[in-house]
Amino acid sequence: MTGHLGHQPLRGIRVIEIDGIGPVPFACRLMHGLGADVLRITRPDSGAFGEVGRALTIGRPAHTVDLKTDAGRREVLDLLRGADVLVEGLRPGAMERLGLGPREVLRRHPKVVYARMTGWGQDGPLAQRAGHDITYAALAGALHLAGSPEQPAPPANLLADFGGGSMFLVVGILAALLERGRTGVGQVVDAAMVDGAAALTTMLHGLLAQGLWSDRRGTNLLDGGAPFYSTYRCADGGFIAVGALEPHFYRALVDGLGLGQRFAAERVSQDDLSSWPRMRAALAEVFATRSRDEWAAHFADTDGCVAPVLSLGEAAEHPHLQARGVFGTEGGASLPRVAPLFSGPDSVDLPRPSTGSS
């Protein structure tokens, strides 16, 4: 079954987006890319987002409304007539002070899904405190997982803003729309970046409870502690990523590096943590003998789980991502397209529902 880029499963869904920064515009970009009709409400005093936000707002029409006036409030309420979703990312209480809180909106438009995106949530001791991705990820325990053993490092703003924020916001909106299809009534979605960032660590909390994860960063299977799940510098200064977790993938890695006999003689084993320092030193030594792209080509037809660490520009040019249409040109920039792909209802690969009696 081949996915295609043209199918839009959210076609017919109308979204009113109260313009903001961070996870709200990215979530609305995703819904727009999946076919939703999204109208951005911009405020006269909001200012331009510049290069930071432009990629997240391309393609969605904008309409300026002064939300601080009665006329502006009435205009938004009128725009919500026939809408399915309202998305806002202001601090808790801000929409209520504007006369556009859930009580006012849902009283007039009970079928609307009112989606709220904040850092800390609508309530709790920190609800009114400012923050950014690094702040929410830190408190959620997610930031502790990234970086070197000596110091945590933020993975840009991907963890709480977009992973814990936008993605959970979209999941909440879609779930509420599905429930509305059964009940005919909308509801409030309270999405918080700190909640989502914490939820992303669920598997690791489970491993911690089983005694299979240490709170010492850089000592675990998935945080760079394992030499077969790490990155290595190559001869040209580039890096290669290794993710050979399963035994057969590990064997493909070791054989591809020509280290099989050496590891057997030195009793270096994947399961023997005491041999990991020697394993890491050997992997680093061998990877340093060739360039990043030479190693990528060497492992291209194997299951050694080896990949080049690409820059943003290089990723857009990679043949696999080009073949899947992952990137496209929007507003003169190369940007990732909305994921995932869909087969569409006309796919010949899908079974047709029966129309007759059995």
Q: Are 194 and 129 in contact (CB under 8 A)?
A: no
> Per the CATH hierarchy, to which homologous superfamily does domain 229-309 belong?
formyl-coa transferase, domain 3 (3.30.1540.10)
- Cα–Cα distance, 324 to 320 (Å, whole number): 6
In the prediction, which pLDDT does 354 show?
56
CA distances from 194 to 49, 243, 304 (A): 24, 28, 35
Domain with CATH 3.30.1540.10 in the chain: 229-309
In the prediction, which pLDDT does 90 show?
95
- Cα–Cα distance, 178 to 189 (Å, whole number): 13
In the prediction, which pLDDT does 331 show?
84
Q: What is the pLDDT along the chain (358 residues), one digit of tens a residue?
A: 344 456 799 999 999 999 988 899 999 999 999 999 999 999 887 655 444 578 899 999 999 999 999 999 999 999 999 999 999 999 999 999 999 999 999 999 999 999 999 999 999 999 999 999 999 999 999 999 999 999 999 999 999 999 999 999 999 999 999 999 999 999 999 999 999 999 999 999 999 999 999 999 999 999 999 999 999 999 999 999 999 999 999 999 999 999 999 999 999 999 999 999 999 999 999 999 999 999 999 999 999 999 999 999 999 999 999 999 999 998 888 999 999 988 877 765 655 555 554 4
* CA–centroid distance for 28 within its chain: 13
Residues found in the chain: 358
Q: How many CB atoms sit inside 10 A of residue 67's CB?
A: 22
Domain with CATH 3.40.50.10540 in the chain: 14-199
Q: At 186, which amino acid appears?
A: G
Fold of 14-199: Rossmann fold (3.40.50)
Q: Which are the catalytic amino acids?
A: 132, 161
82: left (phi over 0), alpha (psi -120 to 50) or beta: left
pTM: 0.91
In the prediction, which pLDDT does 121 show?
96
Give 227: exposed, middle or buried? Use CB within 10 Å, 0-12, 13-18, 19+: buried
